[in-house]
Chains A and B, each alone.
Chain A
Amino acid sequence: MKINFSKIIIFSFVIFFLLILSLGLNKNNNYDTKNLIGKEISNFELPSIHSSESISHKDLKQNQFTLINFFASWCSPCRLEHKYLIKLTYQNKNIKILGINFKDKKNNALNFLNELGDPYSFVAEDPDGKTSILFGIYGIPESILINKELTIITKIVGPIDQRQFKEILSLTK
C-alpha cells in the first residue's frame, strides 16, 4: 500500500488547527488580575487627604487585615459599595480600611465622605493615579484585601456587593 505523505501532512495540519481553535474558543478571555493574589503588595507612600501625614506599606503591617479601597467622588459605583464599607467597620474589628482617593479633587472627595460617611481608618490621595498602577488597578472601584504580611488575599474588581461583603467577612474572621 502506497502512503500518501502530503495527504497525511495536510490532514494533520487540519486536525492541529481545529484543536488550537477549540482550545482558543474554550479559553476564558475575561481579563482579571487574579494573578496578584498570593503576592505581596509593592512598596508605596501616599499623602493623607486630611493632613500633612502620609501612609506607607510599612504602616499596614500593624493591622491584622487591611482592605485597600480605591474610590473617587466622580465614580457612581463607589457610592453603591460605600454602605458595605461602613458595615465592615462595624461588623469586623480585625479589619482596617485604607481609602485611596483616585484622580479626584480634594474638596469633592471630602464632600463625598461627609455625605456618605467615612469608613476609612486613613484616606490617602493619588491625584495622578500613578500609585494605583503599583496595585494593578485599571478602573475604580477596586479593593484589595491584604494580611499583616502584606500578602494579597483577594482582589475585588468593581463595587463590593452583598456576596463580596460576606466573602471579606469570612476571610477576615
Chain B
Amino acid sequence: MILRKIIIIYFFLFSSLQSKELNSELIEIYKNLRCLICQGQSIADSNSDFASTIKLVVKDQIKEGKTKEEIYDFLVLKYGEWIVYKPALTKNNFLLWVLPYTVLVLGGFIIFLIIRKNKLNKRN
C-alpha cells in the first residue's frame, strides 16, 4: 500500500517536473519568434490568430522530438529570417554578429593607447 502511494507521488512529481521543463522550453522558443502581424510583439506575448497557430505548430514539433534549431529552421524556411529575433550567422548578417566584438576589441585597444600615451607624457 505504502509502496503504491510512493509510486503515485513519484509519478506525479516526475510528470510535473517534466511538464515544467517542456513549458520553459516552449516559452523560450516563443520568445525568440516574432509575431509577423503584431506591432513589436513576440509569439509569446501575442494572442493573435497567427501567434496561436505558431504555438500549436511549435508544440507539435517539440512532441515529435524536434530540436529548437530544427523548429527555427523550419519557420525560417517558411517565413524568412525575419521571424526569429536572433538570426543565424550568415554572410548577409555577418557584420551584425561581428561588429560588437570588433568594437569591444578596438575600444580596448584605444583605451590601451590612451593610457600608454598618458604614462609616456608623465615620464617625459
Chain A residues within CB distance 8 Å of chain B: 5-6, 9, 20, 31, 33, 35-36, 103, 128-130, 132-136, 138-139
Contact = CB atoms under 8 A, between A and B. Distances in A.
B: contact size bracket:
10 to 19
Contacts of A132: 53
11 contacts: A33-B78, A33-B80, A35-B80, A128-B56, A130-B56, A132-B53, A133-B54, A133-B78, A134-B78, A138-B50, A138-B79
A129 B80 CA distance: 19
A71 B21 CA distance: 37
Given A31-B36, A128-B53, A130-B60, A136 B113 contact: no
Contact of B110 (A6, A33, A35, A139): A6
Given A9-B106, A31-B36, A130-B60, A103 B49 contact: yes
Contacts of A139: 37, 49-50
A6 B36 contact: no
A130 B57 contact: yes
B82 interface: yes
Given A33-B78, A33-B80, A133-B53, 13 more contacts: A6-B110, A6-B114, A20-B95, A31-B80, A31-B82, A33-B79, A36-B78, A128-B56, A129-B56, A133-B78, A134-B78, A138-B37, A139-B37
A132 B79 CA distance: 12
Interface in B98-112: 106, 110
A157 to B, nearest CB: 11
B57 A138 contact: no
A5 to B, nearest CB: 7
B110 A138 contact: no
B113 A5 contact: yes
